[in-house]
Amino acid sequence: MVINILSNRSEWTFYFLSSVQFNFTISENNLFIEYPKAAARISVIHFSLFDAIFSLFLIISIFITLSFLPY
């Protein structure tokens, strides 16, 4: 049996977080083009911080989705 975990709310959360990740990646690429030395130093910090925040939001959205599933 396939359980569709994505409720309406979590689906919008997923699309929002995906667009944020896409926009952040484009900004990082532009930073590498314009300021390659500075980007090399700060990209590791930015990506690790962003990954932590993105993972936290993803976990929260999963818990919200699971709370709406019937027992």
pLDDT tens profile 38-61 = 555 555 555 566 677 777 888 888
* Alpha-carbon gap, residue 35 to 53, rounded angstroms: 25
Q: Which amino acid is at 40?
A: A
Residue 51: predicted pLDDT: 72
- The model carries a pTM of 0.34
Residue 7: predicted pLDDT: 47
Q: Which long-range contacts (CB under 8 A, 24 or more apart) does 12-21 make?
A: 13/57, 13/61, 13/64, 14/61, 17/54, 17/57, 17/58, 17/61, 20/54, 21/50, 21/54
2 backbone dihedrals φ, ψ, rounded to 5°: -95, 125
The SS3 of residue 41 is helix
